[in-house]
A and B are shown apart, each in its own frame.
Chain A
Amino acid sequence: MTSDNLLERLQPIFRDVLDQPSLTITTESSGHNVEGWDSLAHINLVSAIEQEFKIRFALGELQDLKNVGDMIELMRAKIGK
Chain B
Amino acid sequence: MASGRTSSGDIVRFDNVGLRYGAGTETLSDISFTLTRGGFYFLAGPSGAGKTSLLKLLYLALRPTRGVVTMFGEDLVTLPRNRLPGFRRRIGVVFQDFRLIPHLSAFDNVALPLRIAGVAERDLAAPVGEMLEWVGLGERMHARPVTLSGGEQQRVAIARAVVARPELLVADEPTGNVDPEMAVRLLQLFEGLNRMGTSVVVATHDLHLMNRVPGAQMMRLAKGRLADPTGALRYPPASRYTAAP
A and B form one complex: no
